[in-house]
Chains A and B, each alone.
Chain A
Amino acid sequence: MRELAYVNAIREAIQQEMRRDETVFVVGQDVRGGVYPHTLDLIEEFGEERIVDTPISESAMHGTAFGSALQGYRPIVDFMFASTAMTVFTETAIMTGQQYFLHGSKRPVPLVMTGAWGIGKRTANDHAMPIHGYYSRAPGLRVVIPSTPYDAKGIFTAAIRDNNPVMIPWCTGIMMLKGDVPEESYELPLDKASVKRAGSDVTVLANSEQLQFALKVADKLSDEISMEVIDPISFSPIDMETILSSLEKTNRIVIVDEDWESGGFAATVSARIVEQAFDLLDAPIQRVCFPNMPIPGGYMEDYLRPNPEKIESAVRYVCA
């Protein structure tokens, strides 16, 4: 099959959806020029009416998407860096999330918000921060992160076609990761986790670059420990069914997430497991997350962030 880099798989999804549906458009800063390659050269095919540049006005930029979505358009608002969406949190999370439900579930808000984050590039907190933890606390939004090129294309396609606001913060650590991607368009479910490697001794949840790390650890330990590696994909709502059915088999779980340790996906999943499946556990749940400090920009990232060594030691701990 044909190989594509992750970021180009996103581009192909956007391009194919824009061809298929006139109402799809992209709005952001320097999307015409393509600061990130997922909008590169789309201007040539679709023109300025559908590849729309704004000033550094995140509120009105998001507003262009939010208001036009209520008029039946299907905008993709590109925040360049995921963290800049945080400068307009009431708009992107609260207003957008509550709009459909609070007003009687009548007029949907079909929009996609996206932006890049990534720890390990020495860019420091403002640019590096993961935002899925913040956004998954805003009811009414879907928050999804695809972690392979194949998933990136299928998830972006589904998100554009979905009738709800979908936040997709993608990770720069896997931006150039290559993988098989079909040329024709296809959708993947927005609310389902994906088992990336079957195993029987321990369940490991990991996304983005950490998924690659977890798969490496699984290879390394394959003679000793059989790891089941699951990509959660959906951070809101969380697919507990897939997680719990894996846990039924393994009775041990390690949750890897580069979000801060406190109050995020890993904390929520841990709480739900304790509430719903305490009896399944043969060992304490282990979380491998970022410590609760601003992400430093220098070389400290390497030992502060989750990494293969930390994943391995958590796996060994629960399997001991």
Chain B
Amino acid sequence: MTEITVTLTKEQRITLFRNLVRADKFGKMMYSRMMQGKLIGFYHPAEGAIAPGVAAGSFLTNDDILFPHHRGHGITHMLSKGIDIEPYIAEHAGKSTGCCEGRAAWHYAYPDNNVFGTTAYIGHNFVPCTGFGWAAKRNNRGQIVMNCFGDGAMGTGRSHEGLLLSSNWQLPIVHFCENNGFAIFAEVEEMHPTAHLSTIAEGLNIPTTIVEDGQDVFAVAEAVMPAIERARSGGGPTFIEAKCLRFKEHDIGNRDLRGWKPREQDEYDAMLKRDPVLVATERARAESLFTDGEIEKIHEDAEQEVARAVKFADDSPVESPTEAELMATLYAPRDGVSF
């Protein structure tokens, strides 16, 4: 296996920084809207853990296929890929203008952006991703698959099967494990016998990269870009393990335990110093990426974008189709569907 190393261009760093700030603002807005009762379903906040998703999503083409991780309900990954964000917020508010017509709540799909919709079953990301990879390889036009999941998914047999087939068939898939150390309360150290989850992929002959500091969006991107390149050029799958933090409880309203005991205050205090926006801002300043004015502008733009999306969701009606109307859409017609 040939090592591909990358140095991010200034333009790429700017893209990452901008998407990171956007993801942070959207995530915080979602958290507060959940508290206000304006989001439906569950909310699993991504706060503190947005760097991996931004790095995974920012350099995909529209034709590339993305299976976002559920944390933050994938908004981090998807906004970085370039989806239209307004129907997303509307969907999460149960509105008829939502990307799934208000039927999915938090399992959104954007087929035109090659995001085909998620499921709540942990580990089932490996199911469609195998077929996406199979199709991408046969399509033979340089398409790749970004398959995102948490450490918890690595406990399922599905992960083994998906990794196995991707290796057997040398599929153009980036397996992207966002290891935040927890599956709800369960600590990864307790649930897995090895220091790194990527060991599992190594056993199946898949090249692996461990990003020790998954709080640093630039560091994650430096691992992601060669993996994308490998997949695109016919070099097969890569397994990336980005170690990151989870600032909040697993899902809003739940307790925040480590194993079965509350997490210590020290842990929260220390974590906050590793806030991904803080880390990126420090690096951007140190490397003279932006002026303070430019940074401010990025924050302002993101705030306006969030405000527009919120207004769109709030102004949209709740749809109440009849049972018969819904029933009529259960099966796809023979004619008039496009792929």
Interface residues of chain A, those whose CB is within 8 Å of chain B, are 49, 52, 54-55, 57-73, 75, 90-91, 94-95, 98-110, 139-140, 142, 161-164
With A55-B165, A59-B157, A59-B161 as known contacts, state yes or no: A164 contacts B135, CB within 8 Å: no
Is the beta-carbon distance between A161 and B127 smaller than 8 angstroms? no
- Of the candidates A52, A95, A104, A162, the one whose C-beta lies within 8 Å of that of B109 is A104
Q: Within the assembled complex, what's the spacing in Å between the Cα atoms of A108 and B330?
A: 10
A-B contacts at CB below 8 angstroms, number: 148
Q: Specify the chain A residue showing the minimal Cβ separation from B108.
A: A103
Is the beta-carbon distance between B104 and A102 smaller than 8 angstroms? yes
With A60-B127, A63-B130 as known contacts, state yes or no: A101 contacts B164, CB within 8 Å: no
Q: Within the assembled complex, what's the spacing in Å between the Cα atoms of A3 and B164?
A: 43
Using Cβ atoms and an 8 Å threshold, which residues of chain B touch A66?
Answer: 127-128, 131
Is the beta-carbon distance between A59 and B331 smaller than 8 angstroms? no
Is the beta-carbon distance between B109 and A106 smaller than 8 angstroms? yes
- As a 0/1 sequence over residues 102 to 143 of chain B, the CB contacts with chain A under 8 angstroms (1 = contact) are 011001110100001101010010111111111110110000
Is the beta-carbon distance between A95 and B119 smaller than 8 angstroms? yes
Is the beta-carbon distance between A107 and B111 smaller than 8 angstroms? yes
With A60-B161, A108-B332, A163-B332 as known contacts, state yes or no: A71 contacts B104, CB within 8 Å: no
Is the beta-carbon distance between A60 and B165 smaller than 8 angstroms? yes
Using Cβ atoms and an 8 Å threshold, which residues of chain A touch B104?
Answer: 102-104
Residues of B148-199 contacting chain A, CB below 8 A: 157-158, 161-162, 164-165, 168
Apart from the given pairs A60-B126, A61-B161, A101-B330, 17 other A-B contacts in the complex at a CB distance below 8 Å: A52-B134, A59-B157, A60-B165, A63-B127, A64-B130, A64-B165, A70-B128, A70-B131, A71-B131, A71-B132, A73-B138, A98-B119, A101-B326, A103-B111, A107-B111, A109-B332, A110-B332
Is the beta-carbon distance between A103 and B109 smaller than 8 angstroms? yes
Q: Within the assembled complex, what's the spacing in Å between the Cα atoms of A243 and B109?
A: 39
- Of the candidates A58, A61, A104, the one whose C-beta lies within 8 Å of that of B99 is A104
Q: Within the assembled complex, what's the spacing in Å between the Cα atoms of A24 and B107?
A: 28
- As a 0/1 sequence over residues 71 to 114 of chain B, the CB contacts with chain A under 8 angstroms (1 = contact) are 00000000000000000000000000011110110011101000
Number of residues from B at the complex interface, CB < 8 A: 45
B337 CB–A CB distance under 8 Å:
yes
Q: Specify the chain A residue showing the minimal Cβ separation from B157.
A: A59
**Which 9 A-B residue pairs are closest in the complex by CB-CB distance?**
A67-B131, A72-B339, A108-B332, A71-B135, A63-B127, A60-B161, A63-B130, A103-B109, A67-B128
Is the beta-carbon distance between B168 and A90 smaller than 8 angstroms? no
Is the beta-carbon distance between B131 and A101 smaller than 8 angstroms? no
Is the beta-carbon distance between A60 and B337 smaller than 8 angstroms? no
What are 24 residue pairs bridging A and B, where the CB atoms are less than 8 Å apart in the complex? Answer: A52-B134, A57-B161, A59-B126, A60-B126, A60-B162, A63-B131, A63-B161, A67-B133, A68-B138, A71-B131, A71-B136, A72-B135, A73-B138, A102-B103, A103-B109, A103-B117, A104-B98, A104-B101, A104-B109, A105-B101, A107-B111, A110-B332, A140-B330, A161-B334
B329 CB–A CB distance under 8 Å:
yes
With A69-B131, A73-B135, A104-B99 as known contacts, state yes or no: A91 contacts B124, CB within 8 Å: yes
Q: Within the assembled complex, what's the spacing in Å between the Cα atoms of A54 and B161?
A: 10
Q: Within the assembled complex, what's the spacing in Å between the Cα atoms of A66 and B134?
A: 10
B333 CB–A CB distance under 8 Å:
yes
Q: How far is the CB of A234 from chain B (nearest CB, A)?
A: 12
Using Cβ atoms and an 8 Å threshold, which residues of chain B touch A110?
Answer: 332
Q: How far is the CB of A280 from chain B (nearest CB, A)?
A: 25
Is the beta-carbon distance between A67 and B127 smaller than 8 angstroms? yes
Q: How far is the CB of A60 from chain B (nearest CB, A)?
A: 4
Q: Within the assembled complex, what's the spacing in Å between the Cα atoms of A142 and B334?
A: 14
Q: Within the assembled complex, what's the spacing in Å between the Cα atoms of A103 and B127?
A: 17
Q: How far is the CB of A245 from chain B (nearest CB, A)?
A: 22
Using Cβ atoms and an 8 Å threshold, which residues of chain B touch A62?
Answer: 127
Using Cβ atoms and an 8 Å threshold, which residues of chain A touch B168?
Answer: 55
Q: How far is the CB of A104 from chain B (nearest CB, A)?
A: 4
Using Cβ atoms and an 8 Å threshold, which residues of chain B touch A59?
Answer: 126-127, 157-158, 161-162
Is the beta-carbon distance between B124 and A71 smaller than 8 angstroms? no
Using Cβ atoms and an 8 Å threshold, which residues of chain B touch A140?
Answer: 330-331
Using Cβ atoms and an 8 Å threshold, which residues of chain A touch B108?
Answer: 103
Q: Specify the chain A residue showing the minimal Cβ separation from B143.
A: A71
Q: How far is the CB of B309 from chain A (nearest CB, A)?
A: 18
Q: Within the assembled complex, what's the spacing in Å between the Cα atoms of A27 and B69?
A: 27
